Amino acid sequence: MVAHTPPVALTIAGSDSGGGAGIQADLRTFSFHRVHGTSALTCVTAQNTQGVTRVDALEPAAVVAQIEAVVNDIGIQSLKTGMLLNQPIIEAVADALTQVANTRCVIDPVMVSRTGAQLIDDGAIETLRQRLIPLATVLTPNRYEAEILSGQSIHTLDDMETAAQAIHGLGAQAVVVKGGGFEGPLRGIDLWYDGTNVTKLVTTCVETNDTHGTGCTLSAAIAANLALGQSPLDATRRAKDYVTHALHHSLRIGQGQGPVGHFYPILE
Ligand SMILES: Nc1ncnc2c1ncn2[C@@H]1O[C@H](COP(=O)(O)OP(=O)(O)OP(=O)(O)O)[C@@H](O)[C@H]1O
Ligand SMILES: Cc1ncc(CO)c(N)n1
């Protein structure tokens, strides 16, 4: 027998019953990267490829207990946060994260899904902004989240850049404004800003409607790559490549937007 000690990443996120986004996407992404995936569930969504029909939150203390159980025994090299849903959960997670030293944090400020479902309570956005965003090694807003966080509308690449700069001012070490919510060529472009460098991460747009969970997959892949020791920019570049491959092999299941193909090499 050969002992194997893989890097460990933690996802703090919601469950997607349809298996395309949330914890389910994150754990598949960690496994693909040969990183051991651990999880702290924040809420359970009744969800499929067409949308969300119900959300049940966990108690904040239950979320914190999961984080502590993982951190105090197994230890983690990186984490990501996804759907945190409400203000008490965000505050509890922020308090817990300030106790976890030397962990690189990917904060995906999940607010609105591509199908238009609201995934955070109205009053919680301010708490996310003040408590969680300053803890981010990499922050990954989509178009709509970037508009809310920057207070400006985003239509062009220049808008993406000014929004990323404004959001960087909230305290994140690096910001990636994701382009999936645009029409046309911008759909394949993400804009990175770390306080010094503006970098365009470019792929050609993949012509598919089956894009459910791309955002969760990107942030989980960044966290996996950080756990493997890569720099934040390299981790993000590789994560974008991974999402693009997975989009090229997305799954045609359900009546709405199917999920990406996380294990694309064995889908061929
Ligand atoms: N059709 C596409 N072609 C190429 N890249 C895409 C496409 N759609 C999304 N992406 C990429 O997927 C990643 C996630 O971005 P997106 O804007 O879709 O996030 P999101 O809205 O948070 O996703 P979701 O809510 O569906 O999980 C980004 O790197 C983005 O560029
Ligand atoms: C549980 C969950 N987290 C995140 C998203 C964002 O896509 C979603 N649709 N569902």
Q: What is the pLDDT of residues 61-77, one digit of tens each?
A: 999 999 999 999 999 99
Q: What is the pTM of this model?
A: 0.98
Active site residue 214: yes
Q: What is the structure's pLDDT at 102?
A: 81
Q: What is the structure's pLDDT at 114?
A: 73
Q: Which of 123, 56, 136, 116 is nearest to 88 (CA)?
A: 123
Q: Which domains does the chain have, with CATH numbers?
A: 8-255 (3.40.1190.20)
- The three-state secondary structure class of 21 is coil
Over residues 207-219, mean pLDDT:
96
Ligand 1, atom 29, lies closest to the CA of: 240
Is residue 228 pLDDT above 70, yes or no? yes
CA of 186 to the centre of ligand 1 (A): 11
Active site residue 53: no
Q: What is the structure's pLDDT at 268?
A: 67
Is residue 109 lining ligand 2, measured as CB closer than 6 Å?
Answer: no
CB atoms within 10 A of CB 256: 16
Q: What is the structure's pLDDT at 42?
A: 98
Q: Where are the alpha helices (DSSP H) in 128-173?
A: 143-150, 157-168
User: CA–CA separation, 93 vs 67, rounded Å?
Assistant: 8
Active site residue 215: yes
Is residue 181 lining ligand 2, measured as CB closer than 6 Å?
Answer: no
Determine which helix (DSSP H) or strand (DSSP E) holds 28, and give its type and residue range. Answer: helix 22-32
Ligand 2, atom 4, lies closest to the CA of: 22
Q: Which of 17, 4, 3, 18 is nearest to 256 (CA)?
A: 18
Question: Which residue in 42, 45, 140, 211 is the catalytic one?
Answer: 211
**Structure token pair of residue 63:** 């979320």
pLDDT by residue (tens digit) across 123-156? 899 999 999 999 999 999 999 999 999 999 999 9
Report ipTM (2 d.p.).
0.98
Contacts of 133 (CB under 8 A, 6+ apart): 107, 109, 139, 149, 167, 170, 171, 172
Is residue 170 pLDDT above 70, yes or no? yes
**Structure token pair of residue 33:** 């990267």
Contacts of 171 (CB under 8 A, 6+ apart): 133, 134, 136
* Whole-number percent of the chain with pLDDT over 90: 88
pLDDT by residue (tens digit) across 22-57? 999 999 999 999 999 999 999 999 999 999 999 999
CA of 22 to the centre of ligand 2 (A): 5
